[in-house]
Homo-oligomer: A and B are copies of this chain.
Amino acid sequence: MKGTPADQQHLAWLARSFGRPDYLPLSPADLEVLSRAGEIVKKYPGTHLFKEGAAATSAFLVREGEVDLYRGPSDRREVVGRVGPGAVIGDIAMFSGQPYISSARAVGHVTAFLFDRDRLLPELARSPAITLRWLVASLTQLERTQRRVLNLMHKTVLAQVAGLLVNEADDRNEVALSQATIATLLGASRQSVNEALNQLKRRGHVETGYRLVRVLDRSELSRVAAED
C-alpha cells in the first residue's frame, strides 16, 4: 500500500471489487482448454501489463506474483487495488471493447496468462461452459459491488468496520491488517477507523494488537454492522 496518496485512499476500497482474489472465473482446466487463446507472459517488477486509456486487446490471468491497479496519471496515482494469483484483470475493458479503465503494474516478478481478444472469442464460442462460468463470476462480482455500495452509502464508519471484521476474520477470529489498511479498504481515514475500533474494544467485541484485530463476539459485531 505504500505510495498511496493519503487523500485518495478511498479509491482503494475497490480492491474489494476489482481485485478480490475470489474473482476466479477460470480453473486450471479451463485454462488448458483456452491455451490457444493466448500465451504465458512474464513481467519484471515495475513493468506494466497494460495502461489506462490504451486499447484493450488483452486480458490477463495472474498466475504468480502481485499486480497493482492504478488510475490517473503517474504523478498522481490512485491505487485502486492489488490482486494476486487467480485474478483476472482487464477483461471488462477487453470484452466491452473500451480502453482500459486502469493501469496494471507488476509489484514483484509476475507470471500471467495473456488472453488475446481475437483468439479468445472464437475459443469461448467453442466452450460455452467456460463462457457461462465467466458470466457467473462477473455477475457475482456485480452483486458484490452493488452490495458494497449499500454499505458505503449510508453506514457509519463504525458499522463498516464491524462488517469488514466479520467478513475478513480468519478461522482464529483474527484480522491481520493494519488500521491504515482497513481505512484504505473502506475508503475512510485512519483516525476514524481507530476511533471505531476503540469503541468496539470498549464494548468488548474485539481486542486490538499490532497489525491485528481479534474478534471476540462475532454475532454482536454483525449486529453493529447492520445498524444505521
Residues of chain A having any CB pair with chain B under 8 Å: 8, 10-11, 13-14, 17-18, 91-93, 95-96, 98, 101, 121, 124-129, 131-132, 134-136, 138-143, 145-150, 152-154, 187
Closest Cβ of chain B to A172, distance in Å, is 27
Contact B138 A14 (CB under 8 A): no
Given contacts A101-B147, A129-B125, contact A95 B11 (CB under 8 A): no
A142 surroundings in chain B (CB, below 8 A) = 92, 138, 141-142, 145
Instruction: Sort A-B residue pairs by CB-CB distance and give the 6 closest, nearest first.
Output: A128-B128, A135-B135, A10-B153, A10-B154, A125-B128, A142-B142
Contact B143 A101 (CB under 8 A): yes
Chain A interface helix/strand/loop/mixed: helix
- Number of this chain's copies in the complex: 2
Most interface-central of A17, A121, A128, A147 (chain B CB within 10 A): A128
A132 to B121, CA, bound (A): 9
Q: What is the chain B residue whose CB lies nearest that of A18?
A: B146
A91 surroundings in chain B (CB, below 8 A) = 139
A135 surroundings in chain B (CB, below 8 A) = 95, 131, 134-135, 138
Contact B125 A11 (CB under 8 A): no
Contact A145 B147 (CB under 8 A): no
A145 to B148, CA, bound (A): 10
Contact A150 B11 (CB under 8 A): yes
